[in-house]
Each structure stands twice: as C-alpha cells, then as structure tokens.
Chains A and B, each alone.
Chain A
Amino acid sequence: MSETAGAPAVVRLEGVTKTFPQGNVTALQDIDLELAPRQFVSLIGPSGCGKSTLLRLIGDLLEPTSGSLTVNGKTARQARNDGDYGIVFQDAVLFDWRSVAKNISLPLEMLGWERRRRRARVEEMLELVELAAFAEHHPWQLSGGMQQRVAIARALAFEPPLLLMDEPFGALDEMTRERLNLELLSIWEKTGNTVVFVTHSISEAVFLSSRVVVMSPRPGRIAGTVDIDLPYPRTVETRDAPRFFELVTGVRELLRSRGEHLLPEEEAVLE
C-alpha cells in the first residue's frame, strides 16, 4: 500500500532466532521482517516452519533467543502490556459462562473501561461482525464460524493497531472460510489495522493479503515475500482473476523451491 510508504514499521524483526531447549530445535533462524502500518501480511509455510512461533514472538507469548524485535517501536513486552495487539487463535477460546456480548467485553474490563463505555463499544463490535441478534447467546449456541467472528470482535474491541491471527479459519469448512475471508477484509478496510495472518492455505493468503511472507522449515526461515497487487476491495470475482492465479502460482513455486525440506505429507498440504 503506497500511501503508507515511509511510515514507521509496526513490527520490526532483525536477526531474530528462536530455539527451544527441549530437543534442541531451532524454530526460527535469523528472521528479518518489517511490517508497515495497514498492511495485511500472511505468513505461510508447511508445518514446522515456525510461522506460529513467529506470531507468538510478536505477541510476546514467547521470547526470542537472540535478535531484536520491536512492536510499535517498543519492546514486545511493552507492546503487550500496552494492549497494542489483539489476537485470534485457531479455536475461538470463548468463555462458556459469558454471553457473546460479555465475551467481547472481556478485554475492555481488563482495561478498566466503565460499564457504559463498554456496552457502547460491544454494540459497535456486534454490528461490525453482524452478530447483534446473538448478543445474549452463549458460545455453545453458535456455529464455529459465528464463534470465530465473536473472537475477532473481541480482538478488535479495544482498537489495537495490530491484529494477530493464528490460523483463525483453519478449523472451519471451506464455504464458511471463504465467507469469513470476505468479512475479515471488509472489517479490515473499516478498522485499518495491521494484520499478521498465519495460514497454510495459499489461496487464502493471496486473497486476503497485501503481502505474503513464505516460510520454509527446519530451521524456520523466510523463503521470500510476494507483494499481492490485486486491488482492494476484493470480491468473490477476485478469485477468478488471472492475476490471482499467477500470484497463487508464484507463492506455490516459492514454497516448492524449498521443497527438498518438505516431508511427503507437508508436500500434500501445498497442493
């Protein structure tokens, strides 16, 4: 996105390495990455390439073994304490004992917002994810896709500049997933967050992102990045555009070029 060129990076990693002492695994090696504001960046790669680890490092749920990592120009720890990001996991991780509205209100309670302000914001968020009719329902009464929309509303409720998503639609069926992709884009266009989106679906990554970061495993590295120049807003037709297929092929080839590292079942994931 050209209008943000020159803006300070939201996330900056320099020479970040992460090793897990158990089993002496190098999950990530020497990662350099810079994310500009309002970018929608997907991290894609086969299992074991460290894409989730990278997301967790940005969220300060893990600490890098070496290298430097800043979020909004601060340490990741400081950014987490300041509520600079919202996160969505593969499972919605909603609290069963809270209604949909109360689930969305959880981070606002943690930030000490007063009741009236919380209620107003929860209402806005419910409109945003089109779940206003379900405010008083409990999570188990919702479908998987609806639960994930609640999780997105919860992650965005306190207007964090950064949204981290760890395979948020991985557990959903293909049709729900494609619909939620469209909804996520329309939400993103309204809120203007920087999004880091972990996936192992090439078409999902290309469809959503302004930039796709391709990773390869053992040890986890960045194989290359692909700028996605498809215009926003993207629609159902975007998936039929010749340029879409070219980009999908480009990403797939980048994944393949590191194919010697892949196990057979990981190869299958990429098909």
Chain B
Amino acid sequence: MTNAAVAAQPPRTGRRSAGVVRGLGRAGLVVLVVALLVGLWELYRWIWTTTGWTWPFLVNDTSMPHVWTIFEAFGQPAQINQPSLISVLLHKTAFTAKEAAAGFGLGAVIGFFLGVVLVHSRLLQRGFLPYIVGSQTVPILAIAPMVVLWVNPRLPGPLQGWGAVAVIATYLTFFPVTINTLRGLQSADARALELMRTYAASRWAVLWKLRVPASLPYVFSALRLAATASVVGAIIGELPTGLQDGLGGAIVNFNQYYSIEPQELWATNVIAALLGIAFFVIVVLAEKAIVRRAPRELA
C-alpha cells in the first residue's frame, strides 16, 4: 500500500514542470515537422527544375510555387486597391469558421441524440442504421443545391445563405458522432450496469451516470473527425450556394486565376488547412479537460 500511495501522489510541482517540458517538446516537434515539409517541397522543386524531369508532372512556378512566394502573397493585395490577401482571407476564414462551427455544433447534438435514441431500441437500430449509413454515401456536392433550396427560404434574415451551408456541414458531421456515440453508450461495463440495477436506477440515471460518461472517449474520437469534416463541409457547401464571403468562394475565385497567380490559391489552401487544424485542436483540448480516464499505458 505504501508503494501505491507513493506512486499515487507524485509531487504537484514535478507534475507541472514535466507538463511544461512535454508541451515545449511537442511544440518543437511541430516546428521541426513543418520545417522538414517545407524543405522537402523546395528540395523536390530544385531537383526537378535542375534536372528537367517532367514525371509525373512538369515542375515550374505555376505547378509548385516557392514556399516564400506563397507566404509573400499574404502581404500583397489580391487585386489592385484592395486590402492585403491575408486580411481578405481572415475575413473569409471567420465566415467559414462560423458556418463550420454551427454545422459542427448542430451535427454533434443531432449525432449524439440519435446515438442515445438508437442505443435504447434494437428495433430502431435495425430499422434506421442502414439509412444513416446510406446517407453518407450520397456525395455532398450532389445534394447541396437541394439543401440550399429547401433550407434558405425558411431561415430568418441573419442566417440567410450561411445557415444553409451550416446545414450541409451538419450533414457531414452528425454521422461519425452517431456511430461512435452508439458504440460508446454500449461500451458500459456489464457489471457496472448490474451495479446500477442494485440501486434500482432508472434508465435516465443509467444513461447520465454510467452510459454517457463511459461513451465520452468514443464520442470525442468522433468529434475529432467531425471537427475537420465540418470545415470541409462548410467549404464545399459554399460552392453550389455561390457564396463569396467564405473560403469556398475564395477557392473558386482563385482557381480561375491559377495559371497567372498560383500563389493565391496555395495561400488560401494553407489558411483552410490551418482552420481545420484549429478546429481539431479545440476538440482535443476540450477532451483533455473533460474526459478523465486511466492513462493508456496503465489501462
């Protein structure tokens, strides 16, 4: 017992400074990987342009602009008499982030709710699960125009346009949350369920005190997927709606000028990727704050 007691009570300051060191180590790793990728990009460019290889594609300033050209583009206006690209893109990012966040939130809630309903009824599971799975085999681009037509007229003024895009993002996010919530709710230990029975626990109590806490690791791994899917859903959703305020609109726009100014599309892609990563990181941080479970190496 004394051994366990010692192991169980590491000095608090030690834990914190170890955490700082680990955090710095992780940040250093991220910087290192980014530097490595930039280096690989430039090395590939250099080898292919100096040797003149054209397989699998011709490398030049259009197909692979220099990394610094892309980053320089942020500081320059995309069109004459306009603010710099970065400030334009940041506005568009905020717009797309709003759509994605709304879609993520709505998708998470709907997905979780569906999971809770399905776990309580084998009949519903058998009846509805195939259609829920089927819903994801329909390409999002194929249904986006209909979603806009159906949803937009019912939306109040401030939600017009972007609200429909959020619904499209929802469509991509609810699915992994439903599936993993269902699995997570079913993961509750059989003896723990028996223990709840000895307390004469209601279904509701079993759900909130046992099933839901047990499901959280599963739910969060779905939310991580859903976080990035919601950004992709928002960007794709902007295409058929013709919205110009978000990253999707910017991508369509810069696509048309790619042969002249490729760096602008690349710069937009970098920003879109960063937005997806930001969503992912927020979910991971939320998970760290909420889910208490045994460290994996001990479990």
Contacts and interface: CB of A to CB of B under 8 A. Distances in A.
Contacts of A85: 198
Contacts, number: 70
Contacts of B7: 141
Interface string B14-50: 0000000000000000000000000000000000000
Interface string B170-200: 0000000000000000000101101111111
Contacts of A133: 5, 9
Interface of A: 59, 61, 80-81, 83, 85-87, 89, 91, 93, 95-98, 106-107, 109-111, 133-134, 137-143, 145-146
Nearest to B200: A81
Contact of A80 (B192, B198, B291, B295): B198
Interface in B138-194: 189, 191-192, 194
A81 B299 CA distance: 34
A107 B196 CA distance: 9
Interface residues of B, number: 31
Given A61-B194, A110-B205, A146-B1, A140 B200 contact: no
B198 A138 contact: no
B189 A93 contact: yes
Nearest to B292: A97
Given A96-B292, A97-B293, A110-B205, A140 B298 contact: yes
Q: Which of A93, A109, A142 has most chain B Cβ within 10 Å? A: A93
Given A93-B189, A95-B210, A97-B293, A142 B4 contact: yes
Given A96-B292, A109-B209, 14 more contacts: A61-B197, A80-B198, A83-B199, A85-B198, A89-B191, A93-B191, A93-B195, A96-B293, A110-B200, A110-B201, A111-B199, A134-B5, A137-B8, A141-B8
A133 B299 CA distance: 23
B4 A59 contact: no
A83 B4 contact: no
B192 A93 contact: yes
Nearest to A138: B292
A145 B8 contact: no
B294 interface: yes
Nearest to A94: B192
A93 B192 CA distance: 6
B276 interface: no
A110 B213 contact: no
Nearest to B8: A141
B213 A145 contact: no
B248 to A, nearest CB: 39
A110 to B, nearest CB: 4
9 contacts: A91-B191, A95-B210, A95-B213, A97-B291, A110-B200, A134-B5, A143-B1, A143-B4, A146-B1
Contacts of B1: 143, 145-146
Contacts of A107: 199
A61 B198 contact: yes
Nearest to B205: A110
B200 A106 contact: no
Given A106-B209, A138-B292, A89 B200 contact: no
Contacts of B295: 140
A97 B213 contact: yes
B232 interface: no
Contacts of A142: 4, 8
A59 B198 contact: yes
B216 interface: yes
Contacts of B4: 142-143, 146
Nearest to B195: A93
Contacts of A81: 200
A33 to B, nearest CB: 20
A11 to B, nearest CB: 15
Contacts of A137: 8
A87 B189 contact: no
A116 B5 CA distance: 28
Nearest to B198: A87
Contacts of B299: 140
Nearest to A111: B199
Contacts of A86: 198
Contacts of A97: 213-214, 216, 291-293
B196 to A, nearest CB: 8
Nearest to B190: A93
B250 to A, nearest CB: 43
Contacts of A87: 195, 198
Contacts of B197: 61, 80
A72 B129 CA distance: 46
Contacts of B213: 95, 97-98
Contacts of B201: 110
